[in-house]
Amino acid sequence: MSVGQWVKTGFVLVTAVICFVFADVSCAQVQTQTITKTGNPKKEVTVEHGQVVLVEGNDLVIKMEDGSIRHIPNVPDSARIDVDGRQVGVHELKPGMHLHHSITTVTTPQVVTTVQNVTGKVWHVSPPNSVILHLEDGTNQSFKIPKGQKFNINGQMVDAFGLKKGMIVTATKIVEEPETVVTQQKKITGTMPAPPPAPPADVPILVATTEAPTAAAEAPAAATPAKLPKTGSNLPLVGLLGLLCLCAALGVKLLGVKIGV
């Protein structure tokens, strides 16, 4: 008889064949089977954008898209970032670079079912709730009997009250454990800052140049003597000449008088 009742925890008694055995017999080996049932995975992608503000040693400061400042200390030297198709380390990052951090999270629900078949000899029965089996390792283990469970004994269906000490019975332990498997994949990419825009073609370009100073300073031009202001006239000189002429004439006259005497 096959019993199809499953429970998440505890033990379920499943009878395949139960027979009367009054002699000492050894118990069969324990068989364990694990079945994993996987549900539909859920995928979530998160992308963060930022701009490099400062790189000092292995410390990185990034300005995020929302304006917040994020400090990432002790970035390992082995970390690599794909910048325009080239793998670079933290020491090659420059202020102004744009970084993009994508995180792909996959959540997969699973149910792990462990089925353990144990064959033992009935040691004690407490109908209708439980039975104790003597296992091959010399230990006794108690199993719960599901409500309404029937057993096939020599072609006759009996309940837990029909079990007797010394019978060989097979017990199946079924444990279902739901679990969630979460995997993450992180990727960081970057781009160089855009170059400044080129000026329009129809706008003239002015280039400022600076002349180098000459080796020796030029000598200052010779100073021109200052010209005195014109403050006098020739009238005093004319008067002086007239006075001299008058004196000369007077002298000649006096000299002529003395000669005549």
Distance CA 122, CA 168 (A): 6
Q: Is pLDDT at 56 greater than 80 in this prediction? A: yes
| Burial of 91 (C-beta count, 10 Å sphere; 0-12/13-18/19+) | exposed
User: Quick check: pTM over 0.75?
Assistant: no
42-46, 56-60, 61-65, 148-152: segment of lowest average pLDDT: 148-152
Q: State the pLDDT confidence band at 12, using cuts at 50, 70 and 90.
A: very low
Q: State the pLDDT confidence band at 21, using cuts at 50, 70 and 90.
A: very low
127-136, 175-184, 238-247: segment of lowest average pLDDT: 238-247
Distance CA 86, CA 78 (A): 15
Residue 178 near residue 107, CB atoms below 8 Å: no
pLDDT of residue 202: 63
pLDDT in tens, 146-198: 777 777 666 677 788 888 888 877 766 778 899 999 998 888 888 877 776 76
How do strand 42-56 and strand 59-64 relate by DSSP bridges?
Answer: antiparallel
Residue ranges with strand state E in the chain: 11-13, 31-38, 42-56, 59-64, 69-72, 81-83, 86-88, 98-126, 130-134, 140-144, 151-153, 156-158, 168-191
Q: Is pLDDT at 66 greater than 80 in this prediction? A: yes
Q: State the pLDDT confidence band at 113, using cuts at 50, 70 and 90.
A: very high
Q: What is the mean pLDDT of the chain?
A: 75
Q: Is pLDDT at 15 greater than 50 in this prediction? A: no
pLDDT of residue 19: 37
The two structure tokens encoding residue 123: 């040691």
Higher pLDDT, 236 or 245: 245
Q: Find the mean pLDDT for residues 87-91.
A: 90
